[in-house]
Amino acid sequence: MTTETRPPGTRPLPDAVPAAPGEGLPGTSSEPQGEPDLPKHPAPRPKDAPRTMRELRLAREGRRRAAPRATDNPLREGLRLERVPDPAVLVLFGATGDLAHRKVVPALYQLWRTNLLPHEFVLVGIGRREYSDESYRAEMRASMEKHARVQPIDEEAWQSFTERMCYERLDFTDSAGFDALAHRLDAFDRERGTRGNRLFYLATQPSAFGEIVTQLGRVGLDHERHDGGWRRIVIEKPFGHDLESAIRLNREVGKVFRERQVYRIDHYLGKETVRNLLVFRFGNGIFEPIWNRRHIDHVQITVAEAIGVEGRGSFYEETGASRDFLQNHLLQLMSLVAMEPPATFEAEALRDEKVKVIRAVAEPRGSEVRRTVVRGQYGPGWVAARDVLGYRQEPEVDPSSETETYVAARLMVDDWRWSGVPFYLRTGKRLPKRATEIAIQFKEVPHRLFRDSASEPDPNLLAIRIQPDEGIMLRFGAKIPGLGIDVRSVTMDFTYGSAFAVDSPDAYETLILDALLGDASLFTRADEVEEAWGIVDPIISAWADAAPPDFPNYEAGSWGPEEADQLIERDGRRWRRI
């Protein structure tokens, strides 16, 4: 027996209170536990065990569910989609930055507009710039004209949303400022009924993460209260610069917050099609049996951007395509494609399976990097009928920069399911168009029956389009109408926009709502981050040890350097033309 100490005046937690006789929940026993010497009796029947034939039949039909756990609220069953988060204060660090303007605040407004935020909700914007509450609201209103997903702005909803929005000027090194913030948050609990629940959202430069987390810990804003106030922190990528810095960041955060309080956002995981990937794989019976090395020839994952560095030259110089996309988005998508079915649709089960995939990836090292990874940098060219600069001519970019704007890699997942199936990953800037896609290339038929066909049909292909035109395409062979047997590839196309005719929520809406609800399924865990850096770090090290690259090696508006084509063509395959 342990003695629990709790603050005076607080009530004991319900799970710390022993149940009174007969008070246990259905399916739980109030019998003494762990006494093997007691006489053996048949186990008492749970209260909700079937008693009559009808109840037994209903139970068999699945109409009676398993007894809930003592900590579950049985009234929640069936309400998950409608659940509104607890009252809370969202403290947005970096509230004047680009991410806050373009993504976070528009997402919050949209959640508010659709009644998915609690009535007792407060948004506290934190930044270094001087704003009053009013001027901050006005700036956000102007920003909303450009970035809100649904236009025009619902003035009534915006008005009620801004009543819950305020601004605090705060230097992240200012201890007194954090003390004042803690007091103000406490005042919100009293005045606005936010009940001690806080979501800290770090939309700042990564260099500020450590300082903010330390300050939050110093003033006790990480402490979850016994009377129910939760504390969570959302961290935007990049999660470190390399493995060492990622471990350091995880440690810094871990000193203050427990892992279950930390929500690392990779916004790709909030995209509707990415979430649908799980449904597609595990909600359909026909795909999983062929989702393995026996039927799949290879997998291609493409994240192509038509844009350049868009004024973020100095940031990109330190990052490059491998850190900006390969380490997170591409490896996350790959892990979702390759993961084993989780036992439950719960955060830990999902993340356990994802991290197993990343662990199973054979890390390319030394000379192997030259054969399996290609880097590139764009030169001047034409994209979408526009003459564009080369990377080295972009503002804030070193004219002799060796930073890669393109990376293609051939990775192998060394496990039973995927042994021998290459995963080709590529991402780049200034490619011909914006497109993110996962293509599952199936093996050819073992025997060509229609030898006389004029054209050889392509093997089956399943393409999951993540953006734009979210949807799924399946390619198969069909007979061309006519007297002969000519086979041609045709496609079955599913497009979200046409099939459902409803807008998908923005990834940030999904993820912020999940963070407020405490659902970490779509967030990245510390070990996932570190394992992913374990793959990317040796690649970057090998490049650092190699001779200077011959950059630029692809023209803006092309699909990347020739070496990338050679990378896949060596295996007798080709990149998909998207």
Partner 1 sequence: MVEGPSAPFDRPAVDRRPEDDGRSHGVGQILAVGSRPAGSSRIVLEGPPRTGEPTLRWRSRARSIDEIEQELARIWSEPNLTTMVEGEPGRHIAARTSVMNLVVIARQPEIAERCAATIQQLTGRHPSRTIICSPADPDGPSWLDAAIQAHCVLPREDAPETCAELIYLTVGGESGRHLDAVVAPLLIHDLPVTVWWPGDPNLATESGRDLLRMADRLIVDGSTWSEDGLRRLGDLAGLLDDARLAISDFALVRQYRWREAIAAIFDMREFLPYLRSLRRIAVAYATHDATGATGSTNLVKPVYHVAWLASRLGLRVERPLAPVPGTAKPARGAARPMSRGLAAILRDGRHEVGVVVRPVQSPMPAGTTLRVELLAERRGSELRADVTAVQESVHVGVWLDGVEEFDRTFRAPRWSDVDLLAQSIEAGGRDPITVEALALAADLVGRGPAGERRGPPAEEAERGAEP
What is the contact surface with partner 1 in residues (CB under 8 A)? 11, 13-15, 17, 20, 22-23, 25-26, 47-48, 54, 61-65, 71, 73-79, 82-84, 86-87, 115, 117-120, 193, 227-228, 495, 497-498, 500-502
Both tokens of residue 172?
Answer: 């992240």
Residues 339 and 356: beta-carbon distance below 8 Å: yes
Based on CB atoms, which residue is closest to partner 1, 194 or 524? Answer: 194
Q: How far is the CB of 232 from partner 1 (least distance, A)?
A: 16
Q: Which of 101, 241, 267, 329 is catalytic?
A: 329
Q: Which is nearer to partner 1, 158 or 268 (CB)?
A: 158
We find the least distance from the C-beta atom of residue 15 to partner 1, in angstroms, to be 8
* SS3 per-residue string spanning 440-453: EEECCCCCCCCCCC
Cβ proximity to partner 1: between 9 and 572 the closer is 9
- Name the minimum Å distance from CB 393 to partner 1: 34
Is omega for the bond preceding 552 within 30 degrees of 0, making it cis? yes
- We find the least distance from the C-beta atom of residue 234 to partner 1, in angstroms, to be 21
Nearer Cβ to partner 1, position 5 or 400?
5
Q: Bridge-partner residues for 442, per DSSP?
A: 296
Is 352 exposed, middle or buried (CB count within 10 Å of its CB: 0-12, 13-18, 19+)? middle
516 three-state secondary structure? helix
Of 116 and 246, the one with the shorter C-beta distance to partner 1 is: 116
What's the CA gap between 470 and 495, in Å, rounded?
6
Q: Specify the residue, 79 or 492, whose C-beta has the smaller distance to partner 1.
A: 79
Least Cβ distance, residue 23 to partner 1 (angstroms): 7
Instruction: Find the shortest distance in angstroms from Cβ 218 to partner 1.
Output: 28
Query: Which CB atom, from 62 or from 399, has the smaller least distance to partner 1?
Result: 62
Q: How far is the CB of 42 from partner 1 (least distance, A)?
A: 19
Q: Which is nearer to partner 1, 416 or 500 (CB)?
A: 500
CB of 498 vs partner 1, minimal distance in Å: 5
3-state helix, strand, coil in the chain (%, to 5): 35, 20, 45
- Other beta carbons within 10 Å of 107: 23
Closest approach of Cβ 87 to partner 1, in Å?
7
Give min distance, CB of 74 to partner 1, in A: 5
CA pair distance 296, 400, nearest whole angstrom: 42
Q: Which residues pair with 436 in a beta bridge?
A: 303, 467
Nearest C-alpha neighbor of 91 from the set 206, 237, 226, 196 = 196
Residue ranges with strand state E in 179-336: 198-202, 231-236, 262-265, 296-304
Strands 386-388 and 381-383, sheet pairing: antiparallel
Which residue, 157 or 349, has its beta carbon nearer to partner 1? Answer: 157
Instruction: Write down the H helix ranges in 365-473.
Output: 367-372
Residue identified by tokens 């940030």 is: 508
**Number of residues that this document lists for the chain:** 578
Is residue 332 classed exposed, middle or buried when 0-12, 13-18 and 19+ CB atoms within 10 A define those classes? buried
Q: Please give the Cα distance from 498 to 486 (Å, whole number).
A: 31
**Which is nearer to partner 1, 86 or 519 (by Cβ)?**
86
Active site residue 183: no
Instruction: Please report, as a single letter, which amino acid is at residue 417.
Output: R
**Cα distance between residue 249 and residue 247, in whole Å:** 5
Strand stretches in 118-259, DSSP E: 121-127, 165-169, 198-202, 231-236
Contact 323, 375 (CB under 8 A): no
Q: What angle do CA 266, 271, 274 make, to 5 degrees?
A: 95
Phi, psi of 123 (to 5 degrees): -110, 120
Beta-strand relationship, 406-412 and 422-428: antiparallel
What's the start-to-end Cα distance of the chain, in Å? 63
**Catalytic residue numbers?**
329
